[in-house]
Amino acid sequence: MRRGFNFPGLAFLQGLVGLALFVWVWHLIVASGAVPRAFLPSPEATWNAFVRGVTIGDMREQLLGTVLRMINGWLLASLVGIALGSAIGISETLRNYLRPTLAFARALPASAVVPVAIALVGLTPGMVLGVIVFGSIWPTLLATVQGFAMVDPRLVEVSRALHLSRFDFIWKIGLPNAVPDIITGMRLSLTVALILAIVGEMLAGQEGLGKAILLAARMFRAPDLYAGIVLLGLVGLVSSYGLLLVERRVARWRR
């Protein structure tokens, strides 16, 4: 019975029906007038605002601005995070010296750095990029350290017997072994990068969806606000699922 019955397909269909029900209930709530339209616009109004924003409005530029800001900061954070993480990962001494400093820096909410960054650099795109890098570096950095710690001790012995240099050890043994951990870390980093990109836009007035939804709320244009939130949700969904797919593929390839 199981074989002829395409269960994942059915589950997906049920999920979609559930989503349709959700939107329908949303529509009913708005239509009933129980919630002021200023706070909760109907799904149709949100969709119209979305279409208008993408076709004649500047939603496409705003989306591009936010996504580019997020990806640039994330790539930079990933590069620096992997490099620093490798250096810390191969050296027990370095780990002992840096442990409390790293624990403190990681526990610091990245947005708390924004006022300091504003004081130092001013309200510039560079400031926003710096904050994104600072905030989103930790998951990747710590995951790289973790990945290096998990390297099979026998491989470490082999590399010693072969007299591999530190760089060769990182490049040929450490990093390939740490790839699954690193990708998991990078997925978490990307989420943080998106949040900080939005915060940066809101605070520094950089052109993007973050600034757009702030302005929409100030002018009580609820449909535009919801369209922006939905679009930001989509950015989060697509980016985290994309990396989840990469993660699964890497996990399969390693087995």
Partner 1 sequence: MSGWRGLIVPVVLLLLGEAAFRVFGYVGDTLAPPSAIFRGFAEAIGDGTMVTTTLQTFATVLGGTVIGAAFGLVVGCALGFWNLLYRFTYITIECLRPIPSVALLPLSLMIFGFGYKMEIAIVGFATAWPFLILTYSAISQVEPRLLEVAKVFGFGPVGTAWKLVLPAAAPRLMTALRLCIGIALVVAVTSEIVSNPQGLGHELMIAQETLRPHRMLAYLVLVGLIGWGLNNLLLWLQTRMFRHRGEVDTEVAA
Q: Which residues of the chain form contacts with partner 1 (CB under 8 A)? A: 11-12, 14-19, 21-22, 38-39, 88, 95-116, 118-120, 142, 145, 191, 194-195, 198-199, 202-203, 209-210, 213-214, 216-218, 220, 222, 225-226, 228-229, 232-233, 236-237, 240
In the complex, least distance from residue 196 CB atom to partner 1, rounded to whole angstroms: 9
Q: Based on CB atoms, which residue is closest to partner 1, 138 or 169?
A: 138
Which residues, at least 6 apart from 229, have a Cβ–Cβ distance to it below 8 Å?
213
Q: Based on CB atoms, which residue is closest to partner 1, 16 or 251?
A: 16
In the complex, least distance from residue 199 CB atom to partner 1, rounded to whole angstroms: 6
Which residues, at least 6 apart from 30, have a Cβ–Cβ distance to it below 8 Å?
37, 40, 41, 42, 43
In the complex, least distance from residue 194 CB atom to partner 1, rounded to whole angstroms: 5
Q: Based on CB atoms, which residue is closest to partner 1, 14 or 165?
A: 14
Q: Based on CB atoms, which residue is closest to partner 1, 57 or 172?
A: 57
Tell me the residue length of the chain. Answer: 255
In the complex, least distance from residue 12 CB atom to partner 1, rounded to whole angstroms: 7
In the complex, least distance from residue 163 CB atom to partner 1, rounded to whole angstroms: 28
Distance CA 177, CA 149 (A): 10
Q: Which helix (H) or strand (E) holds 62?
A: helix 59-90
Tokens of 23: 């939107």
Distance CA 163, CA 65 (A): 48
Q: Which of 200, 48, 194 is nearest to 124 (CA)?
A: 200
Q: Based on CB atoms, which residue is closest to partner 1, 28 or 162?
A: 28
In Å, how far from its chain's centre is CA 85? 19
